[in-house]
């Protein structure tokens, strides 16, 4: 097959000296020095950079022109599996049932409520109407006030994750007060419904301050939001919330390894926040108030997979914590939810979830399922004084099911099963759980989904998905998207590699900082195991990962290029050394606990340099690669995939195409509409099919 010629990026050597080490970056020019403005206004992008990115997009479109029909077909299949006029299960809160629904053809939902027990609908927020005429529109948080009189939402219209918060009076429909600009997507009403707490993003797109304003600004309001808390450490993230029993407003300060929670009594919402337990590096905790006591989830005192403590103190400093649910290695306590008479904790054991319901008297029972691989998530609800909680069950073969669960009687009520309009027969498919031996002997779980009659002789193409960072577990969930490959005879495999928390928090700790290479070798071990077990042949695997999973893709492309028939790297974090050395970028200081600080620590510099995909590109035959990005992405900036693709093309000794697709109107999450996003997934999957059909041109 004759391919068009790719764009050739100019090489402009840029010498960087750091900690006595020197490196040259020929493509540093792709970073627009005005990138902060580009986040807010993509039209501000420097002309030469825009010209190059548009040339890359045109090249990718030309190379994949023959896949247009397949992309359209896959998109139609995925869209056909979505119930267009879908609605969430109503969540009761006092006199109202709150829910979100979609209208046929709509990209965005309508938020609404009805009187509890039935009655006329009241529209709270029509996202579809607000999105009209906008290339990008995404609502982050959206909440009603505790007195049910106001509705607030945070909207991002660039993909930059700078949100604008608006508050509406539900009686009149009028907006209350001026909008909040440059906000983080998180906010909270005080339990008295008199105050709105919100988080400001600074000029480097970091959440750094918590402000308070009247929920209903009156004529006497000076128009100046009051500073509640300012975080001096650029490496910390901020969050705001309210305790389950409405006793406190909570300000969460933390990163991947350290937590501090500050408390404001709900009875005195203008009081200064007080630290529950001052931060200690390496100690994480989450807490909630359970009527007469605090419940604390923590890894303190060597509880790697976390334990639960209780405290009767007004301010629960660590000295007042008493062990309650002891730490058990291998039983990872992932979270909990408090109700007036019960506490539900979520646990994960060997990459399988379960819920444990405990009554006030200490009696407890387990909620679990029997499938070989499944996901079970606690959804909870608005109400505290109830015996009903809600959870969602799903598996690779089983669509999502929403259950209301009576914690006292143990009765399950199925409220909704995800409807697949085009039809879905779970009996056609089989899900399996395998284990691959890592180089150090650890057993790495793999979840497979395939048609029941797919042969296990190595002939089937296989997509291997991985992430492996930040402690995020890859749960064995149901996906209407993956079926477009599986129904074509593909096997979908998820590698539960270290760096995630699939097998506990220790699984995460064994895949970060100096142990980060375990993430990459685990993924390769999973691929080798699937070849050895004859699920797939070497070179017939499409590797797929996004963001930090895109870094994984870059690493395994360098380490074992002959294993892969294709690599899809979505918004890939591949320029690790340069990004972790640039303190102006939004996530650099907050991410040093994950990767190390190469500005001050020579060991961290050398470690990152040893695997950073951009820095480790070498002269070898790379497989077909598709890298994608978003121009207004504040998490993985557009120039990371752009630079990586340029360097790959410069060094590859093979003929396989290396493609770049930048969404010029979106950020980290891609297109904001529920259908538009599927077009991007269809492109990824069509590329995988196209690339493996050529393998590359029978090399």
- The residue ranking higher by pLDDT, 595 or 695, is 595
Pairing of strands 91-93, 96-101: antiparallel
Whether 672 shows a pLDDT value over 80: the answer reads no
Considering the entire predicted model, what is its pTM? 0.95
Q: Tokens 């029997």 sit at which residue? A: 370
| Contact assessment for residue 447 and residue 397, using Cβ atoms and an 8 Å cutoff | no
**Which sequence positions are flagged as catalytic?**
547, 633, 668
Q: Which tens digits make up the pLDDT trace of 513-567? A: 999 999 999 999 999 999 999 999 999 999 999 999 999 999 999 999 999 999 9
| Helix (H), strand (E) at residue 253 | strand 248-254
- Residue 140: CB partners within 8 Å, gap ≥ 6? 153, 154, 155, 156, 163, 185, 186
Beta bridge partners of 500: 498
DSSP 175: B
Q: Which tens digits make up the pLDDT trace of 656-669? A: 999 999 999 877 77
Whether 699 shows a pLDDT value over 60: the answer reads no
Q: Which tens digits make up the pLDDT trace of 55-113? A: 999 999 999 999 999 999 999 999 999 999 999 999 999 999 999 999 999 999 999 99
Relative orientation angle of helices 602-611 and 588-595, to the nearest 10 degrees: 80
Q: b/e per residue, 228-266, with b = 16+ CB within 10 A? A: bbebeeebbbbbbbbbbbebbbbbbbbbbbbbbbbbbeb
Quote the CA–CA distance of 558 and 517 in Å, as a whole number: 13
Quote the CA–CA distance of 277 and 163 in Å, as a whole number: 30
| Residue 20 burial class via C-beta count within 10 angstroms: exposed 0-12, middle 13-18, buried 19 and up | exposed
Q: Which tens digits make up the pLDDT trace of 676-693? A: 999 999 999 999 999 999
CATH topology of domain 14-79+429-698: Rossmann fold (3.40.50)
Beta bridge partners of 142: 153
Whether 166 shows a pLDDT value over 80: the answer reads yes
Structure tokens at 507: 């699984």
| Contact assessment for residue 368 and residue 376, using Cβ atoms and an 8 Å cutoff | yes
What pLDDT does residue 669 have? Answer: 76
| Residue 203 burial class via C-beta count within 10 angstroms: exposed 0-12, middle 13-18, buried 19 and up | exposed
Cα torsion through 611, 616, 617, 621, rounded to 10: -70
pLDDT band of 252, cuts 50, 70, 90: very high
What pLDDT does residue 117 have? Answer: 86
Quote the CA–CA distance of 401 and 419 in Å, as a whole number: 10
| Contact assessment for residue 151 and residue 93, using Cβ atoms and an 8 Å cutoff | no
Structure tokens at 628: 């994608």
Q: Which tens digits make up the pLDDT trace of 477-496? A: 999 999 999 999 999 999 99
Quote the CA–CA distance of 146 and 123 in Å, as a whole number: 17
**Half-sphere exposure in the Cβ direction for 150 (13 Å, CA):** 24
Whether 697 shows a pLDDT value over 80: the answer reads no
Across the chain, how many H-helices and E-strands are there?
A: 14, 37
**Architecture of the structural domain at 89-325:** 7 Propeller (2.130)
Quote the CA–CA distance of 500 and 497 in Å, as a whole number: 6
| Contact assessment for residue 283 and residue 258, using Cβ atoms and an 8 Å cutoff | yes
What stretches of 611-666 adopt beta strand conformation (E)? 625-630, 658-663
Q: Domain spans of the chain? A: 14-79+429-698, 89-325, 330-421
């Amino acid at each position: 097959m004759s391919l068009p010629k790719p764009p050739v990026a100019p090489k402009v050597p840029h010498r960087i000296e750091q900690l006595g080490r020197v490196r040259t970056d020929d493509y540093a020019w792709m970073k627009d020095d005005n990138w902060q403005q580009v986040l807010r206004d993509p039209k501000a992008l420097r002309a030469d950079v825009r010209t190059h990115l548009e040339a890359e997009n045109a090249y990718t479109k030309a190379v994949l022109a023959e896949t247009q029909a397949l992309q359209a077909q896959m998109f139609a299949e995925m869209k056909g599996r979505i119930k267009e006029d879908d609605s969430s299960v109503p969540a009761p809160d006092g006199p109202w049932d709150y829910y979100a629904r979609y209208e046929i053809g709509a990209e965005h939902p309508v938020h609404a409520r009805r009187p509890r027990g039935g009655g006329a609908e009241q529209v709270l927020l029509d996202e579809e109407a607000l999105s009209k005429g906008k290339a990008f529109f995404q609502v982050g948080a959206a909440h009603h006030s505790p007195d049910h009189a106001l509705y607030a939402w945070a909207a991002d219209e660039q993909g930059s994750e700078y949100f604008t918060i608006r508050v509406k009076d539900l009686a009149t429909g009028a907006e209350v007060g001026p909008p909040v600009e440059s906000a983080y997507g998180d906010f909270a009403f005080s339990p008295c419904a008199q105050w709105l707490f919100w988080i400001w993003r600074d000029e480097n797109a970091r959440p750094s301050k918590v402000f308070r304003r009247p929920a209903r600004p009156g004529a006497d309001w000076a128009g100046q939001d009051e500073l509640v808390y300012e975080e001096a450490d650029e490496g910390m993230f901020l969050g705001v919330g309210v305790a389950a029993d409405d006793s406190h407003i909570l300000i969460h300060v933390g990163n991947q390894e350290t937590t501090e929670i500050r408390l404001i009594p709900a009875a005195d919402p203008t009081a200064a926040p007080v630290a529950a337990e001052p931060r200690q590096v390496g100690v994480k905790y989450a807490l909630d108030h359970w009527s007469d006591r605090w419940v604390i989830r923590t890894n303190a005192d060597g509880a790697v997979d976390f334990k639960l403590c209780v405290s009767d103190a007004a301010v629960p400093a660590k000295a007042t914590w008493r062990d309650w649910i002891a730490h058990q290695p291998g039983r990872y306590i992932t979270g909990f939810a408090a109700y007036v008479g019960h506490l539900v904790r979520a646990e994960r054991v060997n990459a399988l979830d379960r819920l444990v319901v405990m009554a006030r008297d200490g009696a407890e029972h387990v909620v679990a399922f029997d499938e070989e691989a499944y996901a079970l998530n606690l959804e909870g609800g608005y109400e505290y004084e109830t015996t009903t909680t809600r959870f969602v069950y799903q598996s690779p073969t089983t669509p999502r099911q929403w259950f209301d669960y009576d914690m006292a009687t143990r009765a399950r009520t199925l409220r909704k099963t995800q409807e697949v309009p085009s039809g879905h027969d779970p009996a056609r498919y089989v899900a399996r759980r395998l284990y691959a031996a890592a180089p150090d002997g650890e057993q790495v779980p793999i979840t497979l989904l395939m048609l029941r009659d797919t042969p296990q002789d190595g002939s089937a193409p296989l997509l291997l998905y991985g992430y492996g960072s930040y402690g995020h577990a890859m749960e064995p969930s149901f996906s209407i998207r993956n079926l477009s490959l599986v129904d074509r005879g593909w096997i979908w495999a998820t590698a539960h590699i270290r760096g995630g928390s699939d097998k506990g928090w220790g699984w995460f700790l064994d895949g970060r900082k100096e142990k980060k290479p375990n993430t990459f070798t685990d993924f390769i071990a999973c691929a080798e195991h699937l070849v050895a077990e004859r699920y797939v042949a070497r070179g017939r695997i499409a590797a797929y990962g996004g963001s930090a999973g895109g870094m994984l893709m870059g690493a395994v492309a360098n380490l074992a290029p002959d294993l892969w028939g294709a690599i899809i790297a979505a918004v890939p974090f591949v320029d690790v050394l340069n990004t972790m050395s640039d303190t102006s970028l939004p996530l650099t200081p907050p991410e040093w606990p994950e990767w190390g600080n190469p500005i001050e620590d020579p060991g961290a510099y050398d470690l990152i340099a040893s695997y950073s995909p951009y820095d480790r590109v070498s002269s070898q035959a790379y497989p077909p690669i598709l890298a994608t990005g978003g121009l207004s992405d504040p998490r993985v900036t557009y120039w990371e995939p752009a630079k990586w693709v340029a360097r790959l093309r410069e060094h590859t000794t093979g003929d396989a195409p290396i493609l770049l697709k930048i969404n010029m109107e979106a950020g980290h999450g891609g297109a904001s509409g529920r259908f538009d996003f599927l077009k991007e997934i269809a492109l990824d999957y069509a590329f995988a099919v196209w690339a493996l059909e050529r393998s590359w041109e029978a090399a």
